Structure 1
Amino acid sequence: MKLSSGYDEGKEVPEQNISITPNRSPAAQRSDVHQEPVMAAATLLIFIIVSLEAAMDQARSTISKIFNGEPHSYTRFNLTQNMEGDNSQVEMKLSSDMDEEVGGNGVGEHLNHNSNRKPYVAQRFGRTPKNLCFMAAATLLIFIIGYLIGYLVHRKKDLAPTPAASVLPFEEPALHETGAAPLMDWDDVKNLLAAKLSATKFESVFSEFASNSHRAGSPGDEALGNKVLKKFKEYGMNTWTDEHFVKVQDPPVSGYNKFVFNGTEQRPNGFLSYSATGTRTGAVVFAHYGQENDFTLLRGKNINLSGRVVLVKAGKISFAEKVANAAKMNASAVLIYADPVDYSIGDDTPLFGHVHMGSGDPYTPGFPSFNHTQFPPVQSSGLPTILAQTITTGMANKILRKLGGQNAPREWESYYNLGDEKDVITVEVNNVLTEKRINNVFGVIKGFVDADRYVVIGAQRDAWGPGFATSTVGTSVLVELARSISDMVKNDGFKPRRSIVFASWSAGEYGSVGATEWMEGYLSSLSMKAFSYINLDGVVAGRTGFKVAASPLLHSLIESTLKEVNSPIFSQVTKGNWESNALEPLKLDNAAYPFLAFSGIPSVSFRFAPSNADYQYFGTLLDTRKNLDQVTGQQIPQLAETAAKFAGHIALRLVHDHLLRMDVTKYDKIIRTRVAQINGKVWNVKRLRPDFLPKALTVQWLISASGSYSRASRRLQTDIENSDLEDIEMCRIINDRIMTWVFSVPVIAVAGTSCHPAVSPKDSPFAHILLGSGPLSLFNHLEALRTSNPEADANLFRNQFALVTWTVQGCANSLAGDIWSLDNEI
């Protein structure tokens, strides 16, 4: 057996020279210093290998002699390896000849058990102690080599640079979620959130974000935005801002708005943004709250409303809806006041608001108000064409007491007269249109599985005055939720599957301008990604009642949240039917309304409120901490804590679960109920007005579309129940089916109103076709046809009917999933 090494035993190992150049970086110098013991150890290792080779040669020779030189059988192979350019070969030859080993009878003498001789091996070692020394030395050298190798490896780890704080050490890799199941149990998640939020922490946050002057675009608004941004950064969130240049209408700077009645001029300090400007003169008519049924009662009394100045009470519906209803009656102006029955704000408190029948910048409908946007020369059809102005309670009482004419309808329970042609009033509005720069502020907690899917939690930051209930409480809840959830992720091991975006909006008082412009700017990005919106505006406005408005998709999640969050108010709500106790329609002036109506994002808005009334200081300069304390019995921090838990619970459930917590079957009941009502109304119209609708018109198509939707929703529910929750891809596919349906057509809140994408946001900012009370409402249009309303249009109805049918069928197709799963029954 022959072993040849690539190293020459007689050749000296060249000496290693290590020098540190003075102008090299410290890191490089440290690297060279660390290399010195390594090079020394390498030199020692080479020397040991050479020595070991020599010892092994001697050992092989001894072993060969012990066994008389040759093995019993052999084969032949060559082992060649490249070491630093030299070839080292090991050649082995094994012989099968047995003759040299075996004596005459074929059995070796050393195998004879009767022999008195010592074993041959023992004899050989006993006679040559030198060989035993070589064997011992070889064993010791092998041990030393193993020790040095272990030392060098351990030394290399010690000398390696420490990883950055954001990089985990190699020997302790981060837990990686390979399945769809969350790493943290839901009970642990909700308990963590409850532990992070406390009423005592809210006091300091209230103090930090309270401000007496922070109207949209003002220095106060910008200062609050910077505070929110700073907080988000402190919590380690990714942050950004969104700048817009919007046109809003403010009261005149040098002049004033006024009205003249019975020769007396009054100059109210309040105003309504987006009113038409100019001067109008007409007879006053009292129209209660200015709702559609109020004007119906006036028409029933044969009161001509054309050219009249309508006086209405605040409440029930938005300012914009009151003005729009009056405009449909051809009125020339609207005056709005706070009646003492609904408001205890005194005789001289001004009211503020807007009258745009829509949201966002009405001078860029459908377009974002970025600085680089080429603004089209159009404006929203939701802008009123008549004058609108708020007046104080005292001013209104002076008008009401002098009105003549008929008595008010019994249904109004009012002792005022309606007014006659002699009660003439002149209204002058001189509001000015100005451009303002506003900033929305954002922070995001990224998800660990589907980071590109996110829930948005938002709060309005601006206010007409102090706006403590309007914006301060909501902003404080937003910031505290961001702090708590960020802390759960950083320090408690919580890993949300999806992302959470926290948004602080500006220009909310002008009609959710900041939020709407953001949606218009990023609508293509929000589609299929932003799967829910949680509104925090006005969440604390009382302490005895609780109201919530939401998309039907979120009803089951809201119900479970009410039961899981510990609160005496929630316990009272869930004692009976929670929907009848707490659910209310989503109003036009609610900040969640544009998310649902314009973008189709399932949304929720909630509030703690007085038992049977609204918070009376909204839209006034009396919205202060002191007044809110009186309404809530000084329980603001405790109510804010509960509101934060309610909102946080919904958000965390949406980003925690493997599948989105959205009840797709809820719409099935709503649509089937509404289709049955439409069918009945169509039959009545055909019976009473056979000339209005063609005989060929049938509701069968709509019924078929409703059936397609029912089957698709049940099929999706079955797929959800039979899905493998550990399969991330399968969960994502099902979630995409849910979201594709959600975004196929924008869907409106509690009534489930849907609007068709073919309807222009310029002409109809919120086109409610299937369900609801919008101008394109199919249900309302049928009623107008039945009662021979002059506004009824049979051709428009047929167009609406077609849109409704294909809207429902489109929803069914989206739910069904793949193209080969679609129904073709229509």
Structure 2
Amino acid sequence: MLPPALAALLAAAAAAAAAAGAAGAAAPRDAASPAAALGAPAAALAAGPAAAHPPWGRARAIAAFERGVDRSRLRETLRNLTAVAHIAGSDADRAQAEAIQAEWAAAGLPNTHIKTYFPLLNRPVSRSLTLLAPERFEATLREPAVDGDDTSRDEEVVPTFLGYSPSGNVTAELVYANFGSPADFAALAARGIDVRGKIVLVRYGSAFRGLKVRAAELAGAAAVLIYSDPAEDGFVRGPVYPDGPWRPPLAVQRGSIQYPTFYAGDPLTPFVAATENATRLPQSESPSLPKIPALPISYGEAKPFLAALKGHGVASHTIANDWQGGLDIEYWTGPAGKAHLFIDNEFAVKPIWNTMAVIEGTSEPDRAIVIGSHRDAWVYGALDPSSSAAVVIEIGRVLGKMHKRGWRPDRTIVIATWDGEEYGLLGSTEWVEDHVEILNKTAVAYINLDGGVSGPNFEASASPSLANLVRKATKEVKDPQTGRRVYKRWNRRAGVDTPEGRVPRVQPLGFGSDYVAFLQHVGIASIDLHFTGDYGVYHSNYDSFNWMAKFGDPTWKYHEALTLIVGRVLLPLAHDRVLPIDFVPYVHELRTYAKDVAAALGGASMPVEWAGRLDASIDVFEKAARKLRKEADQLRRDDADEDDAVVDAVVGSGDGIDAGVSVLTVQGGSDDGLAGIVPQQHPKHPKHPKHPKHRAVNDKLGFGERGFIDMAGIPGREWYRHVVYAPGEWSGYGAEMFPAIHEAIRRGDSAGTDKIIASVAATLRRAAGMLAA
């Protein structure tokens, strides 16, 4: 049952949404200018829109963008971002927000501003951890300096702690509970091992850390220690930092333990923005805040606690092989020993700062694409998030230079560096909740970057409707190591067979970053892009510029490649007269998820034929998706004929632009690098005539994802409204598909499962109706 205060907020939010049509319905034909509605300064808009400039095409914009990307500047931006620790709400965090705004404004990016919110944050005042028996051991809870890494020398710049852990003073026996999942606690209970009142030791991996604490809390534990086992990201994987990229013995993974099960964002203001005077839940009534204290520790300091359990309870490998970790001791469950944990965490509502810019579109200003990366880090955050923040800052700088020379997108672009992501997606979620109505009316896509570059392996997660756009973009950018297209390397490593051939797998979106509110609360198609590699210093003091320069991306070419890929996703969305969105790939995914539902029904001894309702609705959706693709393709063919005249006019003007824009690997540039490609005076060329069907088709493409939104939400966690995707109830990071159905099956609720399947099937039909309208 929801706390009374949360239930009241939910009821108020539902009433407001019903009155305003905040989400879950087709967008209206006309809406206010996003530049004004999304917080752009009034003074910046006083001069009026940029309609006097002739519209550019995609090819010309991409050519200008790629000429302007500067690899050396990406490196220096990352160096500047990692020069100081900048945890959310700190003075350094605010200074970086202001510096980015100043840089963007100087580059020519319009409507730059800082949007401030006031979420709940915590900081440690003091903490200690002592093993009292069988032998005494005092944990340092510190990360020592590393030779060659200057920023690591301040060992207490950000203490090792967990976001939203309550204070606590606990003396108790220890129990080891593997990854801390509900299944792990059930395995202990089945062997007569009682965790009630104990300090539970669990290791990182398998699920979001906050859900480990939630499972321990529900099992009756008094406190939790979470450590990084070397089997996951330490010496078992390879050489450790500073000799290699993996986690050294005393590195600690900080992080938030907010429970993502119920909602993202500020734990005291679900459904509404955390403005300074917002109505807030009492802290004790927030379902997303843990009730027992927790500390993160290193595997070097976890070892004495694990050793104290030897010979007590049962040997972990007798439960399952994956209970034995990578340390050179035999893992036992306990209970045994005795430990004392003390935490004094100070909680306060504090400001965080999103840096924003809005570039108004010309031909479709009431349609918007949002792109963002978070900026706050647990310490220095070279990979997470500064590698992605550097890319977004560079994109803003280059678009600013283009804007200063006359470029305008056809659709509005909103650029953001979000704050407070590490505590629970705070900055992005509060901004979405603050602008939910205008976003529902205008936003056609959200592009997210987080942890941008840790190696050479490209990965993407996205709404299926955007999957082909991502694949196309990677066909147009070269891989720095191989010299071949990124797509080829990606497809060799992650290719899957689909009805349209073998293509690289685009993963579903779960909880991991700032796309959550866009996709799962409002229904805005979203993308998350990055390059991955060997990386073991996550959320530690050692996620530093030195680590990135040695192991992550020593040449900075993958930062450049990621910037180019994002450009080839963003600019088609901003310029193509027919949006590059396709719902046909959704059909294959939906059929796969329906098979999973049928298997789950069979495993739960429920009627498997219930899944037939999903299959029938997917058939309807497929017909609509294929009809819409045919419509869109015909419009694109019509446009291609018109483009020939425009290409002739542009190339003939002497701009030196290759309108075809062959595959490029830009070798750096400078602030003046755009001069040869962006003319000071625009050539006169024919304006693209707009086919009367363009607007109708684009509305179906741009707002089709809204069809999957059920305003009633998932039972018990109503903030999540997407019927196809939500964070797994007990995984957090990973997505669960058709989540409400699977949750009802796990509850053994036969009647409820039948009802939810019928509701989801109806929603799929409604989504099909939006595409076919």
Normalising by structure 1, what TM-score?
0.68
Contact kept in structure 2, 1:506 and 1:513, CA below 8 Å: yes
| Deviation of the 1:503 alpha carbon | 0.5
- The residue type paired with residue 256 of structure 1 is R
Q: How far apart, CA to CA, are the structure 2 residues paired with 1:773 and 1:476?
A: 27
Q: How far apart, CA to CA, are the structure 2 residues paired with 1:312 and 1:561?
A: 41
Partner SS state of residue 620, structure 1: coil
Given candidates 166, 175, 178, the residue that maps to 1:285 is 175
Q: How far apart, CA to CA, are the structure 2 residues paired with 1:779 and 1:495?
A: 40
Structure 1 residues 384 and 799, CA, compared in 2 at 3 Å: closer, same or farther? Answer: farther
Partner SS state of residue 717, structure 1: helix
Partner SS state of residue 363, structure 1: coil
Q: How far apart, CA to CA, are the structure 2 residues paired with 1:799 and 1:305?
A: 37
Q: How far apart, CA to CA, are the structure 2 residues paired with 1:736 and 1:323?
A: 43
Q: How far apart, CA to CA, are the structure 2 residues paired with 1:226 and 1:561?
A: 32
Q: How far apart, CA to CA, are the structure 1 residues paired with 2:473 and 2:370?
A: 18
Matches for 1:168-179 after TM superposition, within 5 Å: 176=54
- The residue type paired with residue 529 of structure 1 is T
| Deviation of the 1:731 alpha carbon | 1.3
| Deviation of the 1:763 alpha carbon | 3.8
1:528 aligns with 2:447: no
Structure 1 residues 582 and 672, CA, compared in 2 at 3 Å: closer, same or farther? Answer: closer
Contact kept in structure 2, 1:528 and 1:743, CA below 8 Å: no
Partner SS state of residue 348, structure 1: coil
Structure 1 residues 430 and 810, CA, compared in 2 at 3 Å: closer, same or farther? Answer: farther
Name the residue aligned to 1:550: 462
Q: How far apart, CA to CA, are the structure 2 residues paired with 1:439 and 1:783?
A: 38
| Deviation of the 1:683 alpha carbon | 4.7
Partner SS state of residue 454, structure 1: strand
Name the residue aligned to 2:148: none
| Deviation of the 1:483 alpha carbon | 2.0
Structure 1 residues 432 and 729, CA, compared in 2 at 3 Å: closer, same or farther? Answer: farther
Matches for 1:594-609 after TM superposition, within 5 Å: 594-609=517-532
Contact kept in structure 2, 1:261 and 1:399, CA below 8 Å: no
| Deviation of the 1:302 alpha carbon | 5.7
Name the residue aligned to 1:562: 474
1:574 aligns with 2:494: no
- The residue type paired with residue 348 of structure 1 is L
1:717 aligns with 2:642: no
- The residue type paired with residue 550 of structure 2 is Q
Name the residue aligned to 1:202: 74
| Deviation of the 1:176 alpha carbon | 4.8
Q: How far apart, CA to CA, are the structure 1 residues paired with 2:130 and 2:717?
A: 32
Name the residue aligned to 1:445: 359
Q: How far apart, CA to CA, are the structure 2 residues paired with 1:376 and 1:313?
A: 32
- The residue type paired with residue 335 of structure 2 is E
Name the residue aligned to 2:729: 775
Q: How far apart, CA to CA, are the structure 2 residues paired with 1:684 and 1:462?
A: 44
Q: How far apart, CA to CA, are the structure 1 residues paired with 2:169 and 2:626?
A: 58
Contact kept in structure 2, 1:738 and 1:815, CA below 8 Å: yes
Partner SS state of residue 285, structure 1: strand
Structure 2 unaligned segments of length 5 or more: list them.
Answer: 1-46, 142-158, 235-239, 241-246, 497-502, 640-688, 731-735
Structure 1 residues 332 and 442, CA, compared in 2 at 3 Å: closer, same or farther? Answer: same
Name the residue aligned to 2:106: 234
Partner SS state of residue 472, structure 1: helix
Q: How far apart, CA to CA, are the structure 2 residues paired with 1:765 and 1:382?
A: 12
Name the residue aligned to 2:294: 388
Structure 1 residues 575 and 616, CA, compared in 2 at 3 Å: closer, same or farther? Answer: closer
Matches for 1:669-684 after TM superposition, within 5 Å: 669-683=588-602
Given candidates 327, 336, 340, the residue that maps to 2:226 is 336
| Deviation of the 1:440 alpha carbon | 1.1
Q: How far apart, CA to CA, are the structure 1 residues paired with 2:459 and 2:48?
A: 46
Contact kept in structure 1, 2:621 and 2:768, CA below 8 Å: yes
Deviations 1:277-310 (A, max 9, x none): 3344554332333345555655665644554433
Q: How far apart, CA to CA, are the structure 2 residues paired with 1:680 and 1:624?
A: 45
| Deviation of the 1:388 alpha carbon | 2.0
Q: How far apart, CA to CA, are the structure 1 residues paired with 2:178 and 2:83?
A: 35
| Deviation of the 1:461 alpha carbon | 1.8
Given candidates 514, 518, 523, the residue that maps to 2:431 is 518
Normalising by structure 2, what TM-score?
0.73
Partner SS state of residue 598, structure 1: helix
Q: How far apart, CA to CA, are the structure 2 residues paired with 1:626 and 1:204?
A: 13
Name the residue aligned to 2:315: 407
Q: Percent of aligned positions with the same letter in both sequences?
A: 26
- The residue type paired with residue 113 of structure 2 is W
Partner SS state of residue 537, structure 1: strand
1:757 aligns with 2:668: no
| Deviation of the 1:626 alpha carbon | 0.7
Q: How far apart, CA to CA, are the structure 2 residues paired with 1:699 and 1:469?
A: 42
Name the residue aligned to 1:100: none
Deviations 1:528-570 (A, max 9, x none): 312222222210222x322222221111011111110122461
Matches for 1:11-90 after TM superposition, within 5 Å: none
Larger RCO (alpha carbons 8 Å, 6+ apart): 2
| Deviation of the 1:785 alpha carbon | 8.4
Structure 1 residues 761 and 416, CA, compared in 2 at 3 Å: closer, same or farther? Answer: same
Deviations 1:134-159 (A, max 9, x none): xxxxxxxxxxxxxxxxxxxxxxxxxx
Name the residue aligned to 1:620: 540
Name the residue aligned to 2:31: none
| Deviation of the 1:650 alpha carbon | 0.7
Q: How far apart, CA to CA, are the structure 2 residues paired with 1:767 and 1:396?
A: 40
Partner SS state of residue 419, structure 1: coil
| Deviation of the 1:642 alpha carbon | 1.2
Structure 1 residues 744 and 380, CA, compared in 2 at 3 Å: closer, same or farther? Answer: farther
| Deviation of the 1:265 alpha carbon | 5.0
Q: How far apart, CA to CA, are the structure 2 residues paired with 1:731 and 1:769?
A: 28
Contact kept in structure 2, 1:407 and 1:418, CA below 8 Å: yes
Structure 1 residues 295 and 813, CA, compared in 2 at 3 Å: closer, same or farther? Answer: farther
Contact kept in structure 2, 1:781 and 1:792, CA below 8 Å: no
- The residue type paired with residue 764 of structure 2 is V
Partner SS state of residue 370, structure 2: strand
- The residue type paired with residue 460 of structure 2 is V
Contact kept in structure 2, 1:366 and 1:761, CA below 8 Å: no
Name the residue aligned to 1:157: none
Structure 1 residues 353 and 685, CA, compared in 2 at 3 Å: closer, same or farther? Answer: closer
Deviations 1:75-107 (A, max 9, x none): xxxxxxxxxxxxxxxxxxxxxxxxxxxxxxxxx
Partner SS state of residue 223, structure 1: helix
Matches for 1:807-818 after TM superposition, within 5 Å: 807-817=763-773
- The Cα RMSD (Å) is 3.2
| Deviation of the 1:631 alpha carbon | 1.2
| Deviation of the 1:617 alpha carbon | 1.9
Structure 1 residues 282 and 587, CA, compared in 2 at 3 Å: closer, same or farther? Answer: farther
Q: How far apart, CA to CA, are the structure 2 residues paired with 1:485 and 1:466?
A: 27
Structure 1 residues 394 and 258, CA, compared in 2 at 3 Å: closer, same or farther? Answer: same
1:501 aligns with 2:414: yes
Contact kept in structure 1, 2:176 and 2:201, CA below 8 Å: yes
Structure 1 unaligned segments of length 5 or more: list them.
Answer: 1-165, 178-182, 747-755, 818-826
Structure 1 residues 321 and 549, CA, compared in 2 at 3 Å: closer, same or farther? Answer: farther
Contact kept in structure 1, 2:495 and 2:505, CA below 8 Å: yes
Contact kept in structure 1, 2:521 and 2:722, CA below 8 Å: no
Structure 1 residues 332 and 531, CA, compared in 2 at 3 Å: closer, same or farther? Answer: farther
Structure 1 residues 797 and 366, CA, compared in 2 at 3 Å: closer, same or farther? Answer: same
Given candidates 371, 376, 386, the residue that maps to 1:462 is 376
1:743 aligns with 2:615: no
Structure 1 residues 271 and 768, CA, compared in 2 at 3 Å: closer, same or farther? Answer: farther
Q: How far apart, CA to CA, are the structure 2 residues paired with 1:432 and 1:270?
A: 14
Partner SS state of residue 251, structure 1: strand
Partner SS state of residue 560, structure 1: helix
Contact kept in structure 1, 2:131 and 2:305, CA below 8 Å: no
Structure 1 residues 553 and 331, CA, compared in 2 at 3 Å: closer, same or farther? Answer: farther
| Deviation of the 1:208 alpha carbon | 4.1
The 10-residue stretch of structure 1 (804-813 or 522-531) with the greater mean CA deviation from structure 2: 804-813
Deviations 1:117-174 (A, max 9, x none): xxxxxxxxxxxxxxxxxxxxxxxxxxxxxxxxxxxxxxxxxxxxxxxxx999xxxx96
Contact kept in structure 1, 2:197 and 2:222, CA below 8 Å: yes
Q: How far apart, CA to CA, are the structure 2 residues paired with 1:376 and 1:307?
A: 28
Partner SS state of residue 616, structure 1: coil
- The residue type paired with residue 804 of structure 1 is V
